[in-house]
Structure 1
Amino acid sequence: MFSPEGPSLRELAVQALSSVERGYDLLAPKFDHTPFRTSDTVLDAVGAALERTGPFGAGLDLCCGTGAGTDVLARACRDSVTGVDFSAGMLAVARERPRPAGPPVSWVRADVRALPFGPAFDLVVSFGAFGHFLPRELPGLFAQVHSVLRPGGCFAFPLVAPPRPGSLGYWMLLGFDAVMRVRNAVWRPPFVMYYRTFRLGDVRRELTRAGFRVELWALPEFGWREDGSPRVRLVVARR
């Protein structure tokens, strides 16, 4: 499915009926051949924006998966890069990926809701992972990120503008979230993955409550909506 190297429909069904951790362990060998991996276009745009802001010292990729985001950190950080994820399968693939030149990279298996670090990082990034957290979990998650950043450190992640109500994209995301809610109501263990629960207003409020100063940068590579707002923003939260 998606490409000859990607998962089959049966494999995706097995993943969807597993826990989040087990599902990603199963998907890991083929994850980079699915649309679920953050596109190189987004990674390059974020990397360019952070390079203009940096350089930074130590970087952390939150929910790093197979490690594509650590390449962004390698462009912006001088000292070290760390990827953290709770899927052993995804980390195994990340360890085998070719690495660009840059600072040393290490991999840590951990739940990002209980990060095993002190304030050791100057930059934290994350790509495409926030749908795995329910809205009530955001305060704790952002508090964890705040706790591992050094004073003046930066937490950055891209955020795509929601599709216009009534558009095809709107109905597709609405339908996906509805299917996931039904699945989680009738099947255990739950698989938390929602596309419409990570809203800019809520995110900005919870980041501020966690002690961040929040900035929103347009990523001009993706253009502008009819109302003049950017299609994709980079949320930059500073400790």
Structure 2
Amino acid sequence: MFAPQGPTLRELAVQALSSVERGYDLLAPKFDRTPFRTPDAVLTPVSRALHELGPFDSGLDLCCGTGAGMGVLRQVCRERVTGVDISAGMLAAGRAREGEPAAAPRVEWVRADARALPFGPVFDLAVSFGAFGHFLPRERPELFAQVHSVLRPGGRFVFPIAAPARPGSWGYWTLLAFDAAMRVRNALWHPSFVMYYRTFRLADVRAELTRAGFDVELHALPELGRRPDGSPRCRLVVATRTR
């Protein structure tokens, strides 16, 4: 799962015993060589779907990390692309990977907490990839309110969400064990490291987005396959600011 140039077991252990911010600062130089980076197999179909929804003038990558999603935004935004993350180390790695900035769109990297975004309603599009497990369920309403506040009327908040693992499957037990281990870790060790895979449920998220002032649609991502019952393995949530 990890490239030979990726983090060692000791480095992962140190990261796991740190806070979220400090942990990602430590992991940043090798993050792109871990399975935690959103794979191109996910980014490519999302990019296709956004091309069909766009074009857009300005885009925000929420919890951008080293910038995997920034590449998607650069393909669909004409004027401005902004990445926001709480980890200075991840932002520095993203800037370094980007190299010389292109003429358009303008690219910005901003250190900020996603729960307190330092922008007005200036974006047409916001995306996020793989970051929602870092927010407890009680924090999501404020998170979604923040995204709503930085979108222009009619702006869209878009992110992929995978179908839950079938009860009793290998994936189900793996995620259950991970979340249980994380809860034990946070009960015994401080600072806490919030990362839970099973708390971001589509029905709950859809209701919370609606309450935040979004109109929510779901789009299948057929490139990512279907489950045995015919349902998509992954959907794209498209939440449009309606008020």
Shorter chain as normaliser: what TM range? Answer: over 0.9
Partner secondary structure for residue 114 of structure 1: coil
Say yes or no: does 1:193 pair with 2:179. no
Write the deviation string for residues 204-231 of structure 1: whole angstroms up to 9, x where unpaired.
Answer: 0000000000000000001111222110
Residue 131 of structure 1 aligns to which amino acid in structure 2? G
Map Cα deviations across residues 53-103 of structure 1 (whole Å, 9 max, x no partner).
100110000000001101100111111100000100000001011368541
The answer to whether structure 1 residue 11 and structure 2 residue 11 are counterparts is yes
The equivalent of 2:184 in structure 1 is 182
RMSD of equivalent CA atoms? 1.1
Does residue 1:220 correspond to 2:222, yes or no? yes
> 1:193 & 1:235 partners in 2: Cα distance?
21
| More moved, 114-123 vs 99-108 | 99-108
Contact 2:41–2:224 (CA<8 Å) still a contact in 1?
no
> TM-score normalised to the size of structure 1?
0.98
Structure 1 unmatched ranges of 5 or more: none
SS in 1 for 2:236: strand
Gapped regions of structure 2 (runs ≥ 5): none
Displacement of 1:185:
0.3
Q: Distance in 1 between matches of 2:207 and 2:15?
A: 33
The answer for the alignment partner of 1:22 in structure 2 is 22
> Aligned equivalents of 1:183 and 1:190: distance in 2?
8
AA at the equivalent of 2:145: A
2:48 counterpart of 1:59: no
Query: What SS class does the counterpart of residue 227 from structure 2 fall into?
Result: coil
- Identical positions, percent: 76
Q: Is the 8 A contact 2:56 2:125 kept in 1?
A: yes
Q: Which residue of 2 aligns with 1:167?
A: 169
| Aligned counterpart in structure 1 of residue 211 of structure 2, from 161, 184, 209 | 209
For residue 97 of structure 1, give the secondary structure of its aligned residue in structure 2.
Answer: helix
Q: Name the stretch that deviates more: 32-41 or 1-10.
A: 1-10
2:237 aligned with 1:235, yes or no? yes
The two structures have a TM-score, normalised by structure 2, of 0.96
Q: What is the one-letter code of the residue matched to 2:120?
A: G
Q: Secondary structure at the match of 1:192?
A: coil
2:81 and 2:107 in contact (8 A); partners too: yes
Of 208-217 and 226-235, deviating more is 226-235
